[in-house]
Amino acid sequence: MKKLLLAAALAMSMSMTSSLAVAETVVKILDHEPTTKEEKEFLLRVAKKYEESNPDIKIKFDFLDDVSYKAKLPTLLQSSERPDAFFTWTGGVFYEQAQTGMLKDITDMMTPAVKARYATIGLDGLSYKGRLYGVPMYASNILIWYNGDLLKQANVDPKAIKTWDDFLNACAALKKAGITPITIGGKDKWPIAFFYGPLALRIAGQDGINAANRGENGGFNNKDFVRVGKEFERLVKLDPFQPGFMDTGFHKSVGLFGDGKGAFLPIAHYVIDMNAKNSTSGKGIGDSLDFIPFPAVTGGKGDPKDTFGGINGWLLTKSAKPETLKFLEYLTNKENQMESARLGLWLPIVKETQANIKDPRVQRVAKLLEEAPHHQLYLDQALGAVVGAAVNDAAAELATKEITPEKAAKRIEEAREIR
């Protein structure tokens, strides 16, 4: 009898849960493991809040570490297990996904009123051939951050650095004072491209980069890109990087900077937290930390106000449930973007949310982004994986003085041709 009762109770509870499940729509979102705990908590908190006001919808976030995320995504998107939406760094990989019909075109699903709240660079970043495929969430902007105390020791005034020549002079002065001018994570290669990429933006301009990417004017093997290599080579000739920089990963390079072992570091605003967390003392260089925009290059075609960095957001897969877009719009509404700005999670991409940013330095970063005529995506994202890797390899080999600027330009063009 006892057994019978138990079985009946089990059956009842099972039928109850299954009837509950039927009434719910589950929106599955796949994300790469966020860099900070706070970021993950924020996403889950917003999801929970959304579920409370929409009891028939369940938001399910899944997180995968960076490498597995990138490796599993192609297979996952082509299977029936695909999520409704997933995190994107935009750029070439996103174009590939859009081209092969993996994504949902939401151009007509998002109302003009909602569209109006995002910064243009955000919507541009999530668009391919004029069609919108996702919702932007944040931007990042690579600038040259410096250690004010070290610059003072070498009598370098950061505010006076306006051109690339000024910057080279500053590096020479630091070197003379026995201070390592720049810490860089050469082992990962892409941090070196934080010099090469912005230089390309200043010298060739965004139009020049796009034209080269289309194969016009000799592709990447033209005099502008040779000059990019040459200007970078001028920096390399000063031996500006910390010893053993090719065995330094990105995280360690930020730690070295936080330990006061180098004066400059090309990086985004997250350096403020990261230089402290990665330093030996756990405190970093504190208020001595500030930044200058990437200097102008004399005779360059790019606007010195153009910015360089990332656009990140969410892409909807072709079979995404209608509720997905509603949730993503909620996740990136003004209130939530203000909250993420207040928490210092990222640079919000919704207009008029900057006021909530606490750190004045980050506020200035946001302002630069807002005023930028163009925002160039990281080259290894914008140009796709093959050409992007060739850019990173070329930058790394220029840094180790293994190839000439001419050969670097040629290598990148070769990669573009076989792409």
Partner 1 sequence: MYDDGKLTTIFLFLPPALVLFTIFVIWPILNATNFSFYKWSGYGELTNFVGMQNFQRLANHSIFHQSIWNSVKLVLVSLLIQIPLALTMALLIYKKTSVNTAFRLIFFAPYILAEVATGLIWSFIFDGDYGVTAQITQALGIDPIYILADKNYAFLTIITVIIWKYFGYHMMIFIAALQAVPHDLLEAAEIDGASPWRIVWYVKIPLIAHAIKLSAFFAIVGALQVFDIIIPLTNGGPSNSTHSIVSYLYYFGLVQLNVGYGSAVGVVLFLLCIVTAFSYKRFAIDKGGEL
Q: Under the rule (CB under 8 A), what is the footprint of partner 1?
A: 70-71, 74-75, 77-78, 93, 96-97, 99-102, 186-189, 242-248, 252, 256, 261, 280, 384-386, 388-389, 393, 396-397, 400, 402, 418
- Our CB check for partner 1 shows the closer of 188 and 370 to be 188
Count of CB atoms situated within 10 Å of the CB of 70: 14
Other beta carbons within 10 Å of 364: 17
| Smaller CB separation from partner 1, 275 or 332 | 275
The distance of closest approach from Cβ of residue 191 to partner 1 in the complex, given in angstroms and rounded to an integer, is: 12
CB of 154 to partner 1, least distance (A): 21
Cβ neighbours of residue 155 under 8 Å, at least 6 residues apart?
A: 173, 177
Q: How far is the CB of 237 from partner 1 (least distance, A)?
A: 18
Nearer to partner 1 by Cβ, of 211 and 385: the residue is 385
CA distances 139 to 204, 214, 351, Å, are 23, 25, 12
Residue 32 Cβ vs partner 1, minimum distance, rounded to whole Å = 15
Nearest distance, CB of residue 99 and partner 1, angstroms:
7
Shortest Cβ 408–partner 1 spacing (Å) = 12
Handedness of CA 199, 217, 237, 189 (dihedral sign): positive
Tell me whether residue 77 or residue 150 sits nearer to partner 1 (CB atom).
77
Q: Which is nearer to partner 1, 48 or 283 (CB)?
A: 283
Q: How far is CA 44 from CA 37, 39, 87, 255, 262, in A?
A: 11, 9, 14, 29, 37
Nearer to partner 1, 24 or 402 (CB): 402
Helix extents (H) in 134-222: 148-153, 164-176, 193-203, 205-213
Longest dimension (CA), the chain: 91
Tell me the C-alpha distance between 135 and 141, whole Å.
19
Instruction: Please tell me the distance from the alpha carbon of residue 165 to that of residue 56, in angstroms, as a whole number.
Output: 60
